[in-house]
Amino acid sequence: MTQHTGKLLLNEPMARYTSWRVGGRADQFYIPAGLDDLRAFLKSLDATQPIYFVGLGSNLLVRDGGVRGTVVLIHNVLTELKMDGGLVYAEAGVTCAKLAKFCAKEALFGAEFFAGIPGTLGGALAMNAGCYGSETWNVVRRVTTINRQGELNTRDAGEFVPSYRHIDKPVADEWFVAAWLGLADGDAHESARKIKELLAKRLNAQPLNLPSAGSTFRNPTGDYAARLIEASGLKGYIIGGAQVSEKHANFIVNVGGATALDIELLIKHIRDTVLAKQGVALQQEIKMLGELSLGTLEVRQ
């Protein structure tokens, strides 16, 4: 078996790695020593073993029953960030905030919006994350992916089909490990000013003082999920330790002691209420992972 040099943890609590601070344990949790080590580790896994990649865990609800299989952490691991032939090369573990600042310093324009995304580039690529009118795949030129055999593939952006908060990949069982971004020439001071403005806007509008996972639902065409939730009288609504934020209705915050089930039940209640009162079926932006253990969704409605 190929030797790997990263850190393998068994029965690791996922609450430590998600921005909601909830979630059960992962059977296996791997922190690679780098890209070569990640390749060796993936080769060593059984072909039937489920694999999940996690960055900052900022768009993720891990259920209380935990995760069967292996979770791979890329935040603070795949962090190379440099200029490469006129393009910005960034590995998937680079935070979006760091990427925005790097591009500004290089006097490149068009990456400022990344400052408003509270995750890693890997997560942004996987869900075509965006804010303030811009999306990740608008600036992607090519990517490197890794498959479960540890093989790397470099693919052009044209092989992927981006849509709102979603990306269709040519091969399902591949994960992003790096990307090259093409950006226009700009002005370093102007980009820095824009980033500062975006961060101030975010601080003013979002409940950043409590654990949350960003926007819970996608914005329906021509409307805002937050407006629909607020119009349904749900601002401040609580189940257990999970609350619809009083500052931004599309955020669910952990006000203390929330379980993943509290959050999942609240998501279901919001969806049901908005459908009944507004006639709109909200689509979830949050990814869910793992198994229920504290009952079923029908138990505590």
Active site residues: 165, 215, 285
CB-based contacts of 5, cutoff 8 Å, min separation 6: 33, 37, 40
Question: Structure tokens of 232?
Answer: 């349904």
With both helix axes pointing from N to C terminus, report the angle between 188-205 and 96-105 in degrees, rounded to the nearest 10.
150
Q: Which of 152, 140, 83, 91 is nearest to 111 (CA)?
A: 140
Question: Structure tokens of 239?
Answer: 């189940």
| Sheet containing strand 252-254, strands side by side | 238-239, 242-244, 252-254
- C-alpha separations of 196 from 112, 135, 210 in Å: 9, 19, 21
